[in-house]
Structure 1
Amino acid sequence: MSKSATVSRGLVISTLSIALVACVNMQAPQPAITSHIPHNFSQNTSGKTIAEQSYKEFISNPKLAQVIEITLNNNRDLRTATFNIERVQQEYQITKNSQLPTIGVMGGAARQVDPSINPNNPASTFQVGLGMTAYELDFWGRVQNLKDAALNNYLATQSAKEAVQISLISNVTQAWLNYAFAQANLNLAEQTLKTQLDSYHLNKKRFEVGIDSEVPLKQAQISVETARNDVATYKTQIQQAKNLLDLLAGHPVPQNLLPDHTIQNITFEKTFAAGLPSDLLNHRPDLKAAEYELRAAGANIGAAKARMFPTISLTGSTGYASSELKDLFKTGNFAWSIGPSVDLPIFDWGTRKANIKIAETDQKIALAKYEKAIQSAFREVNDALATHAHIGERLDAQRRLVSATDATYKLSMARYRAGVDSYFTVLDAQRSAYAAQQGLLALEQMKFNNQIEIYKALGGGISKV
């Protein structure tokens, strides 16, 4: 066997040995998650989680459902999230393409002097063909890890868009409710203003005939102006709620889709089952995004470790070469070349090791963020369930308070007309009745907001939107 054949065989065997031994993925293993959360929620909510429902199944008010649909079609934040997905998708495609050789047409012409052949006569060389640029042989898994990191970043971006979508459903519902209850408070303030004006006119007559001093008249006037201020305040809140709705929807919300009467309910649900805490990992897109980011960090560690080993690249070309342009494509001028190249920095002053440390630190940061996201999600669900568990009791107590203060006001007014009590007693009873009615509206709004908060905290059924 010739010496050249022996060398070639040795080179092939060495290359295959390197490929078999070194094709090891250095990606860091997934670290253990220690979020330290209980196995059950604080409230007993057995049954299938409401997070598996789409908003169309969960929302009972048809006007609200249409406003949500307009929002999902037009909101600019959601569009930005969609564009981010498209951008990261192309970045992933670029890293995926890095696993394939890049081939292009090449051509060239050169005129040079070769001292070993004829130092006094320049020679020309013409070449045309296909060329393969330096193609990295991914023995150490660097390119594969970069692709895995890009894939997980892409999936994290998709989950981020879903999180935006869930927040939009919640935010537009709350803005819609703000409009409804600002309108309800305006109606209450206008009724109170009418009652205060009646009292003012009564006090004015009593003052004019000399029954009372001017003090009750001024007290009544204070109540009138306070009520007028409330009317103006709630008119402002109504317009601000409409402005927020238009911003969230990305489109002016038609007047016929705005609430025009007292809201009785916004959902078909009665039980609000939360399922198990482990269900959050499947339904909350922010937790999925944090998990993908953790996986991407592990892949980046593998890519950084692979840089500690030689980068082996392959270049080659095939085509025609000749010293005369007219003879370029003649038989016998076919030429080809192929060969590997190795790059291994010897002295980099610890740069590659520092990059590994950075990647490992990034993984620790991603792990801490993931564990914090799980803990935060668990707390959000428990907070929403705690409010839901006692909101009924609070509403019942508030309704009894409204009834008692209203009765007190009527009795005080009757005693004042009979001359038994002063007008100060009437004012105090009137203020208490008004505050109790405002408190009832606030609690009713809290009840509806809490329903959508539970839906959001559990994941909102984003997979079926």
Structure 2
Amino acid sequence: MRRALLTPALALSLTACIAGPEAVPTASDAAVPESFLFAPEATPADEAQVAALLPDDPAFAALAETALAQNPTLGQAIARLDIARASAARAGAERLPSLGYDAGVQGSRTNINAPDNLPLETEQVAYSANLTARWDPDIFGRLRNAERAALLRIDAADADAAAVRLALTADIAGAVTDWRTLQAREAALRSDLNAATRLADLAGTREEAGIAPGFDRFRAETQAAASRSRLAALDSARAELLGRLVALTALPAGDVVAALELEDEADMLAPPPPSLPSVLVASRPDIQAAAFRLQAADADLAATAAQRFPRISLSAGIGLLAFAMGDIFDADSVVANATAGLAGPLLDFGRIEAEIDAGEAQTRLAFQQYRGALFTAFGEVESAYALVAAADAEAAATLEEAEMATRAANLADTRYRAGLDNFLTVLEARRVADASGDRAAAALGRAQRARVLLWQALGGSPLAL
């Protein structure tokens, strides 16, 4: 009778499981552009070309090494990675048999007024010790897919940590570049201040000699005051950068300043390396993390769908049971049992179906997040390549402007001393030269900053720190 009832129930349960979840998108369904519009046309870049985009600066190397060892945000990412590993270990352990033991002493007392024809011991003590084993063979893959999803989340957490390292390194490189830019601007402004001071002294000498009006000296001193004002404005930017580097490196301000005092040998701007979208997809950690989460969502969906199938469980136990302490190790005290169970949904009123629908939606969400990561990366690379080109053009133009303005100022000064030009011409030429030097230093800094952004957009490269 039991077999007659079990067979149709099992058949009905399996019939309800035949229809799996609908087809869901995968990473291969996302279209990838074949090339970047603003990238140089050449073979794909190697790691050395990408690494050359970072500043070759001892201060950057020292601060980046410290930050990668003790930055709090990176520490949080590593802790999340450890959490993912623990979850994967737990999911893997679910697929293995579980062994347990128990031991106990039980005392009981019954009603002393038992019928005469039913003699009972009114008080009884039982001693027991058991070893048990349970195992789910996971015939339909529910536990296997749950473990696969957990392992994929380890990969996603690892990629997230790599993305934090990438952003952290880029932030430090950018801050150090900005600091060096401020130093270059300060040097240019101090040179301007010295030139303006010499011009004011000359105007004062000519005023005392009675061959020039006092107005010339006032205009020259105004030019020097303007240079001092721009120099003072650099201090606020320097303080902001110092605060950023303290937060990024988790170092005291004095240690950060000591690192920034390391001498830097100015290098030529590295050429922007070529790259291909396929290389970008393989190297950007945020894209990798999104891809792993998409695969994990698909594995979760498979595990949810497996709930439609029956679960088979196996259990066994062996132990000792005696009613006197001295009999616990007798052969007659040995007891044992073995059980095989089958359980599955028969009529759940759509509970599992709703979970499958939610899993499908989660997978579609993960796919759109993956596409979002892809096109965010492509947009950042396109923007970074265009920014490098524009910054290089600006730097070249401002350097040429500064060189020509300096030559014009020197020529005007020479003509003025020879009596061939008036003081207003000299002052105007010096004003143009002073402004151009500051702009040239700032433009060179923006060109190097653009390379840091391109390095980050391309997925970075291993650092030899």
Please tell me the TM-score bracket, short chain as reference: 0.7 to 0.9
Mapping 1:274-293, distance limit 5 Å: 274=275, 276-293=276-293
Q: 1:30 to 1:132 in 2, by over 3 A?
A: farther
Q: 1:79 matched to which residue of 2?
A: 75
C-alpha separation in 1, matches of 2:230 and 2:292 = 50
In the alignment, is residue 31 of structure 1 matched against residue 26 of structure 2?
yes
In the alignment, is residue 342 of structure 1 matched against residue 343 of structure 2?
yes
Report the 3-state secondary structure (helix = DSSP H, G, I; strand = E; otherwise coil) of the residue aligned with 1:332. Answer: helix
In the alignment, is residue 373 of structure 1 matched against residue 376 of structure 2?
no
**Shift of residue 265, structure 1, vs aligned partner:** 3.6
**Shift of residue 27, structure 1, vs aligned partner:** 10
C-alpha separation in 2, matches of 1:463 and 1:405 = 40
Q: 1:332 matched to which residue of 2?
A: 332
C-alpha separation in 2, matches of 1:102 and 1:23 = 30
In the alignment, is residue 132 of structure 1 matched against residue 154 of structure 2?
no
Aligned amino acid, residue 71 of structure 1 = A
The Cα offsets for residues 366-405 of structure 1, whole Å up to 9 and x where unpaired, read as 1111111111212222222223345444333222211232
Q: Is the 8 A contact 1:55 1:461 kept in 2?
A: yes
Report the 3-state secondary structure (helix = DSSP H, G, I; strand = E; otherwise coil) of the residue aligned with 2:96. Answer: coil
Point out the more displaced range, 359-368 or 199-208: 199-208
Point out the more displaced range, 137-146 or 357-366: 137-146
Aligned amino acid, residue 241 of structure 2 = A
Q: Is the 8 A contact 1:132 1:316 kept in 2?
A: yes
C-alpha separation in 1, matches of 2:53 and 2:221 = 51
Report the 3-state secondary structure (helix = DSSP H, G, I; strand = E; otherwise coil) of the residue aligned with 1:400. Answer: helix
Point out the more displaced range, 220-229 or 165-174: 220-229
**Shift of residue 89, structure 1, vs aligned partner:** 0.8
Q: 1:311 to 1:226 in 2, by over 3 A?
A: farther
Q: Is the 8 A contact 1:68 1:172 kept in 2?
A: yes
**Shift of residue 353, structure 1, vs aligned partner:** 3.0
In the alignment, is residue 167 of structure 1 matched against residue 167 of structure 2?
yes
**Shift of residue 457, structure 1, vs aligned partner:** 2.0
Report the 3-state secondary structure (helix = DSSP H, G, I; strand = E; otherwise coil) of the residue aligned with 2:332. Answer: coil
Q: 2:307 matched to which residue of 1?
A: 307
In the alignment, is residue 185 of structure 1 matched against residue 185 of structure 2?
yes
C-alpha separation in 2, matches of 1:463 and 1:392 = 25
**Shift of residue 299, structure 1, vs aligned partner:** 1.2
Q: 1:436 matched to which residue of 2?
A: 436
Q: 2:156 matched to which residue of 1?
A: 156
Q: Is the 8 A contact 2:156 2:293 kept in 1?
A: yes
Q: Is the 8 A contact 1:66 1:257 kept in 2?
A: no
Q: Is the 8 A contact 1:30 1:295 kept in 2?
A: no
C-alpha separation in 2, matches of 1:314 and 1:289 = 38
Structural RMSD (CA) = 4.1
Q: 1:147 matched to which residue of 2?
A: 147
Q: 1:89 matched to which residue of 2?
A: 85
C-alpha separation in 1, matches of 2:463 and 2:436 = 42
In the alignment, is residue 297 of structure 1 matched against residue 297 of structure 2?
yes
Point out the more displaced range, 254-263 or 374-383: 254-263
C-alpha separation in 2, matches of 1:51 and 1:27 = 41
Report the 3-state secondary structure (helix = DSSP H, G, I; strand = E; otherwise coil) of the residue aligned with 2:36. Answer: coil
Q: 1:40 matched to which residue of 2?
A: 35
C-alpha separation in 2, matches of 1:45 and 1:338 = 71
Aligned amino acid, residue 330 of structure 2 = K
Point out the more displaced range, 161-170 or 305-314: 305-314
The Cα offsets for residues 195-250 of structure 1, whole Å up to 9 and x where unpaired, read as 33334444556667777776655544443333222222324434543454444334
Q: 2:258 matched to which residue of 1?
A: 255
Q: Is the 8 A contact 1:297 1:359 kept in 2?
A: yes
Q: 1:387 matched to which residue of 2?
A: 387
Instruction: Output the TM-score relative to the length of structure 2.
Output: 0.81
Q: 2:267 matched to which residue of 1?
A: 264
Q: Is the 8 A contact 1:52 1:460 kept in 2?
A: no
Q: 1:204 to 1:223 in 2, by over 3 A?
A: same
Q: 1:69 matched to which residue of 2?
A: 65
C-alpha separation in 2, matches of 1:384 and 1:92 = 38
Q: 1:28 to 1:328 in 2, by over 3 A?
A: farther
In the alignment, is residue 110 of structure 1 matched against residue 103 of structure 2?
no
Point out the more displaced range, 123-132 or 66-75: 66-75
Q: 1:59 to 1:199 in 2, by over 3 A?
A: closer
**Shift of residue 149, structure 1, vs aligned partner:** 1.1
**Shift of residue 288, structure 1, vs aligned partner:** 0.9
Q: 1:119 to 1:54 in 2, by over 3 A?
A: farther
C-alpha separation in 2, matches of 1:374 and 1:296 = 18
Q: 1:29 to 1:279 in 2, by over 3 A?
A: same
**Shift of residue 160, structure 1, vs aligned partner:** 1.2
In the alignment, is residue 121 of structure 1 matched against residue 122 of structure 2?
yes
C-alpha separation in 1, matches of 2:345 and 2:29 = 39
C-alpha separation in 1, matches of 2:360 and 2:400 = 60
Q: 1:52 to 1:159 in 2, by over 3 A?
A: farther
Percentage of pairs with the same residue: 22
C-alpha separation in 1, matches of 2:462 and 2:391 = 26
Report the 3-state secondary structure (helix = DSSP H, G, I; strand = E; otherwise coil) of the residue aligned with 1:307. Answer: helix
C-alpha separation in 2, matches of 1:35 and 1:411 = 62
Q: Is the 8 A contact 2:54 2:451 kept in 1?
A: no
The Cα offsets for residues 75-106 of structure 1, whole Å up to 9 and x where unpaired, read as 33333322222221111101110111221111
**Shift of residue 360, structure 1, vs aligned partner:** 1.6
Q: Is the 8 A contact 2:125 2:324 kept in 1?
A: yes
- Consecutive unaligned residues of structure 1, counting only runs of 5 or more, are none
Q: Is the 8 A contact 2:67 2:249 kept in 1?
A: yes
Mapping 1:417-456, distance limit 5 Å: 418=419, 421=422, 423=424, 428-456=428-456
Q: 1:229 to 1:261 in 2, by over 3 A?
A: farther
Q: Is the 8 A contact 2:67 2:248 kept in 1?
A: yes
Q: Is the 8 A contact 2:140 2:309 kept in 1?
A: yes
Aligned amino acid, residue 77 of structure 2 = A
Point out the more displaced range, 229-238 or 48-57: 48-57
C-alpha separation in 2, matches of 1:390 and 1:221 = 36
**Shift of residue 157, structure 1, vs aligned partner:** 0.7
Report the 3-state secondary structure (helix = DSSP H, G, I; strand = E; otherwise coil) of the residue aligned with 2:100. Answer: strand
Q: 2:234 matched to which residue of 1?
A: 234
**Shift of residue 64, structure 1, vs aligned partner:** 4.0
**Shift of residue 156, structure 1, vs aligned partner:** 0.5
Aligned amino acid, residue 34 of structure 2 = H
C-alpha separation in 2, matches of 1:59 and 1:27 = 50
Q: 1:56 to 1:197 in 2, by over 3 A?
A: closer
